[in-house]
Amino acid sequence: MPETIAPAGLTRRNFLWLGWSALVGFLTSGAAAAARFFFPNVIYEPSQKFNAGPAQDYPMGVSTKWLNEQRVWIIRTEKGFYTVWARCTHLGCTPNWFADQNRFRCPCHGSNFSSDGDVIAGPAPKPLYRCAVEIASTGDLIIDKAVIEGRSGFRDKTPFFANFKATV
């Protein structure tokens, strides 16, 4: 008896719908899985935190001492320290510091920033980021480039500014 062999409801039309849907579902999830494949789960990159040496050794103003190795400028003011991450907020090149002009200037698209990191000219959309900075009990500057802040008001407070008075 044929009626008992084919389950009721699964018509030829529905079977085809099911088949095609399954194929589309398989291809879609396959594409999604392939996309996920390109996101590595483990990356081997250096730590973003480093010791920049004794705070008292830094002169007033912008220091380029760590630019080549850690890509930050360390800026000492009367009140203390802040660090500017040397990554242009436009497209990520490293600007250069021009002490005579009191500007950071980017070599890739010509953005200009003040020593505070604010945009003066060029295409950069945002101020330069500052990194978290603290003075360890040893008197060393500890800088963490994984913690960054660009908004004025926030960037002038802990942990992006470390109070420091010179001990004569």
Partner 1 sequence: MPGLNLEQIKKSIIDSQIWRSMFRGGVWKDNPRDRAAHIIGNIWLHLHPVKVRKRAIEWTYTWGLGGISFMLFLILTVTGVLLMFYYRPTIDLAYQDMKDLEFAVTLGKLMRNAHRWAAQAMVVFVILHMVRVFVTGAYKKPREFNWGIGVLLLTFTLFLSFTGYLLPWDQLAIWAVTVGTNMAGATPFLGNEGPFGSLMGMRINNDVRFTLLGGTTVGENTLLRFYVLHCVAVPLLVGILLIVHFWRIRKDSFSAAPRDPNEEKVEVWPNLIVREYIAAAGTVLVILLWSWLVNAPLEVVANPNVTPNPSKAPWYFVGLQELLVYFDPWIAGVLIPNIIIVGLMAIPYLDQSPGGTGYYSFKERPFANTLFLLGIALWFILIAIGYYCRGPNYQWYWPWESWLVEKAPPAPTWSLPLWAGTLLILAYFGIGLVAPKLIQREIEWKRAFIWCGAGITLLSLGCVFLGGVAWGRLPWLYFFGFAYFLFGFLMPQRHIRNLSWTRYIVTMSLVLMMMGVLLKMGLRLGFDIKYIFTLPQFSLNI
Binding-site ranges for partner 1 (CB under 8 A): 35, 38-40, 43-45, 67-71, 86, 90-96, 98, 101, 103, 105-110, 112, 120-123, 125
Query: What burial letters (b/e) apply to 51-78, b meaning 16+ CB within 10 Å?
Result: ebeebeebeeebbeebbeebebbbbbee
Compare residues 80 and 122 and give the one whose CB is closer to partner 1: 122
Compare residues 13 and 39 and give the one whose CB is closer to partner 1: 39
Compare residues 148 and 161 and give the one whose CB is closer to partner 1: 148
- For 19, how many CA atoms within 13 A lie in the half-sphere containing its CB? 7
Compare residues 61 and 150 and give the one whose CB is closer to partner 1: 150
